[in-house]
Structure 1
């Protein structure tokens, strides 16, 4: 075997280059293991109304999984416990990230676009895969496409409503009162208070479910006003810092479910309608109002409007970087919630707990021992089968390098969970099988099967073997593609690892192994 010629071979150098890139990924990003190996965080969810049947529970679980996937989580375990409990488990324990995850889980996901008190567009009319976003340090935009039926309904509702605001809500409360002080609500707004109150009342109208706004000038007067409200077992009182604990206790005695909001979320934002000169609310987080664009008169004169819509918002923050980061966080949350769809019931988040992984280290250790043992066993079988000890070295080396590359890429750019680990093992099995196919074309019990054919014959044999290997890789990839796009997180890791292993084998590791085999053969 000519080592100089082997090292200078383009196929071997390509394998070495990919290995270096994979190791660089590990050096920069590290390797991320899933809950099974490193533990993580569990977020318990209680459904306000128990799931009617197993199908509804499965639907709720799928919605939560989709939200988590769109949010960018590389592994999430969602499992139902009975008819009213769900556990969401993620392999992260960073407090800031956990809070963001809680934010996307807390939303029911009910999107509504309301014009003059009527729902013009709703979340079930949004095409889930059409949602995109654009972020700058000044604002953000989330765009989406609706169904043709949704566009038709929109055209009917907005007919004759040119220059009306389209109030876009996410999880608008249905049975609630908002209790806030004037300072919390208006802040330093230069718009007249009477006009602002009228604008808020206009934005809160939706058919027969108008939300109440109560200004907290005097608690006695506020209680008298609340006495006229028809309280149900689902009535909510949305409050902020102006409502102290004593007031909160009284609200709960009345029968309200008290929902506390941050002062920043309680503040409504206003502008002046550029066409009518009237004051209007542009956003109000306390009630889920995202934005309120004006309807262009051209789309309110009949016919069917376009299918593309946008939700916009201003970026909040003191610096350009902070505004951009906040805008990215806002769009990320909104996209994940809209993509997942609406939950059929409200949910209550429980206390976050840490999940230990007592067997994770042992499992990893046994996995490594098993992998090394398998490679040694394969090497022994090759020596016995072909009686060519030198052939065992490239088989073990190429397989070990392939494992390293797969673990580095999948663990560095994603998360290695049980399904991904299974995919890596399966990919390595296919790799060894392909190497044996290539070896079998050339060697049999230490004798050259094509000794009389010389170098040309050897290359012809390798070409035929490589064709078999390539067809096998194509079949594996085609078989795994449906699993990759199935949306089932439990098997996407397996499919990703298997496809990546197949592509790595065809374009990188199999040619490199062919270079090793050619070198051994030509020396004979």
Structure 2
């Protein structure tokens, strides 16, 4: 027996499996598992552009929106294009009213003296942290040298006239041109000021303006066409329901295997193999920062289900090949021919879902893409890593012998 154990543990496939399991546990412990909206709770915002745009413009839109949300302090955000005129924003752990205004505004800044535009968002070099005093706020920012020079020339001899500062065509403030600025001397230090009804409102307004100034303007006008949210409590119920369903499935499979082979101990290697497969899938998800949501959980269950089927095929072939070692080897090859053919068929069925989901990005299709990706990942891990180890285990220890 010791000789068999030693031989089994020295097999390169077993060593690879143990390394991957250990690495996956370390990855999950260190990096954690990213949970999707339906598990962690959060918001989904659907944004429509005023007109269809090309790929470069769409990349600019998604980049600006992503930057805005990161500047605003939102974590676990995912911004993706949906066709050539829509954008989907997924935000875990945040309710939509907290960020809807930020993502739904063009962010176009203009400063006008009279009817002349003297500054735009392109002239802003950097934006400093807001200054809050009671219910008053100030957002200082620096201008480029060219912008400061242009502003000084436009303000020359106009002391006392207002400089109307607009954000998305909304008048924010109208400071008067000081005598120093009216001399035509350029200054790069400018600020937007205002007052609200309370300190909390002042902080919110200043933060919004700071975010829009820092992120720049969107190349096209946008509007929010749909907002939905999932509570964290509902996500917790989803997780509990998935765990209960998984446990019931495990018990049902165990009973079927015991009835099938009349060998309770055979259930152990099957479930150890399945557990290793699940750990490696979670480890891969942690490394690539893949969101685990209900669709991904369904994909993992599908992959694990095919894994149990494949292990039953391997066990039956080993049993049918008992008596001669060479016959068992041929039987295992036959089993893997069936397994590879089945895996190829399943992957071929999943790839169109993954392609359409990633390429189009629509909400419902995106869920199918998550299901397809996780299923394919699980099948590949099983076919090339866990199932060969199970076959080696059964062949070495003959646990399937009746």
Which bin holds the TM-score, normalised by the shorter protein? 0.5 to 0.7
CA 1:3 to 1:90, structure 2 compared with 1: closer, same or farther past 3 Å?
Answer: same
User: Which structure 2 residue ranges, 5 or more long, are not aligned?
Assistant: 68-74, 125-139, 175-189, 196-207
CA 1:15 to 1:430, structure 2 compared with 1: closer, same or farther past 3 Å?
Answer: same
Indicate conservation of the 8 Å contact 1:395/1:513, yes or no: yes
Which whole-Å CA distance do the structure 2 matches of 1:400 and 1:11 have between them? 16
1:451 equivalent in structure 2: 322
**Is the aligned partner of 1:469 residue 2:339?**
yes
1:485 equivalent in structure 2: 355
Which whole-Å CA distance do the structure 2 matches of 1:187 and 1:24 have between them? 48
Which whole-Å CA distance do the structure 2 matches of 1:431 and 1:197 have between them? 69
Indicate conservation of the 8 Å contact 1:33/1:411, yes or no: no
Which whole-Å CA distance do the structure 2 matches of 1:371 and 1:494 have between them? 16
**Is the aligned partner of 1:367 residue 2:242?**
yes
Provide the alpha-carbon RMSD of the alignment.
5.1
Which whole-Å CA distance do the structure 2 matches of 1:354 and 1:87 have between them? 13
**Is the aligned partner of 1:400 residue 2:275?**
yes
Which whole-Å CA distance do the structure 2 matches of 1:490 and 1:5 have between them? 44
CA 1:517 to 1:480, structure 2 compared with 1: closer, same or farther past 3 Å?
Answer: same
**Is the aligned partner of 1:417 residue 2:293?**
yes
Structure 1 residue corresponding to 2:381, chosen from 486, 504, 513:
504
CA 1:88 to 1:22, structure 2 compared with 1: closer, same or farther past 3 Å?
Answer: same
Is the partner of 1:358 in helix, strand or coil? helix
Which whole-Å CA distance do the structure 2 matches of 1:222 and 1:494 have between them? 55
Which whole-Å CA distance do the structure 1 matches of 2:368 and 2:326 have between them? 44
2:137 equivalent in structure 1: none
Indicate conservation of the 8 Å contact 1:379/1:393, yes or no: no
Which whole-Å CA distance do the structure 2 matches of 1:263 and 1:38 have between them? 26
* 1:63-102 alignment, distance < 5 Å: 67=62, 88-93=89-94
Which whole-Å CA distance do the structure 2 matches of 1:503 and 1:353 have between them? 35
Count of equivalent residues: 324
User: Which structure 1 residue ranges, 5 or more long, are not aligned?
Assistant: 81-85, 109-170, 201-212, 227-233, 247-259, 267-284, 289-336, 444-448
CA 1:431 to 1:102, structure 2 compared with 1: closer, same or farther past 3 Å?
Answer: farther
Structure 2 residue corresponding to 1:429, chosen from 305, 319, 322:
305
Is the partner of 1:460 in helix, strand or coil? helix
Which whole-Å CA distance do the structure 1 matches of 2:192 and 2:400 have between them? 87
CA 1:349 to 1:218, structure 2 compared with 1: closer, same or farther past 3 Å?
Answer: farther
Which whole-Å CA distance do the structure 1 matches of 2:147 and 2:258 have between them? 86
Could you report, residue by residue, the CA deviation over 1:454-511 in whole angstroms, capped at 9, with x for unpaired residues? 1110011001101111122222222222222222322221121011111101110110
Which whole-Å CA distance do the structure 1 matches of 2:351 and 2:318 have between them? 33
CA 1:374 to 1:214, structure 2 compared with 1: closer, same or farther past 3 Å?
Answer: farther
1:324 equivalent in structure 2: none
TM-score (norm. length: structure 1): 0.50
Indicate conservation of the 8 Å contact 1:43/1:89, yes or no: yes
2:25 equivalent in structure 1: 23
* 1:226-245 alignment, distance < 5 Å: 245=194
* 1:303-314 alignment, distance < 5 Å: none
CA 1:389 to 1:519, structure 2 compared with 1: closer, same or farther past 3 Å?
Answer: farther
Which whole-Å CA distance do the structure 2 matches of 1:44 and 1:502 have between them? 33
Structure 1 residue corresponding to 2:5, chosen from 3, 8, 14:
3
**Is the aligned partner of 1:357 residue 2:232?**
yes
1:383 equivalent in structure 2: 258
Which whole-Å CA distance do the structure 1 matches of 2:400 and 2:143 have between them? 85
Could you report, residue by residue, the CA deviation over 1:153-190 in whole angstroms, capped at 9, with x for unpaired residues? xxxxxxxxxxxxxxxxxx798x9964669999986849
Could you report, residue by residue, the CA deviation over 1:104-135 in whole angstroms, capped at 9, with x for unpaired residues? 66449xxxxxxxxxxxxxxxxxxxxxxxxxxx
Which whole-Å CA distance do the structure 1 matches of 2:148 and 2:25 have between them? 62
Indicate conservation of the 8 Å contact 2:353/2:372, yes or no: yes
